[in-house]
Amino acid sequence: MNIGFIGTGKISSVMVKALCAVDQQAIRIQLSPRNEQVSEALARKFENVTRLSSNLELLGKIGQPLIIEDEHQLHTFWTITGLITHFYDLMVELSCWPIENAVDKKFEV
C-alpha cells in the first residue's frame, strides 16, 4: 500500500506513527516537505517513510488524492477530523504497546 500526506501536522504525524506501528513492510508512506522538522524526523525514524522534495512529486507517487472542492466540504472535513483528532494519540499508544511489550501477534483471548 502506498499512502501520502501533504503537510505533516499533528493528525498526519500521529497517523504515520500508527501505520508504522502496525506493519512497516506492507505500507510505503510518502511525505511532503511541509513542516520540515516533523517530516524529516518521521523519515529518519521509520524506514518505510520517505520525505519528498515537493507536493507535486508526492501527488505523482500516491495516485488519487482526496480533493476538497468547496468551503462546505472543507468545513465538513475539518469537523470530522477535529472530532477524532484527540483519539489519534490513543490509537498510536494502543498500536505501539503490544509491539513494545513483545505481545505475540497470534495472541488469542
What tens digit of pLDDT does each residue of 42-57 get? 999 999 999 999 988 9
Tens digits of per-residue pLDDT, 10-68?
Answer: 778 887 887 887 766 778 899 988 888 999 999 999 999 999 999 889 888 887 666 66
Nearest to 85 by CA among 17, 3, 12, 6: 12
Nearest to 91 by CA among 3, 5, 9, 22: 22
C-alpha cell at 80: 470530522
CA dist 30 and 33 (Å) reads 10
Which pTM value belongs to this model? Answer: 0.61
Nearest to 32 by CA among 3, 52, 11: 52
Burial label, 19 (beta-carbon count in 10 A; 0-12, 13-18, 19+): buried
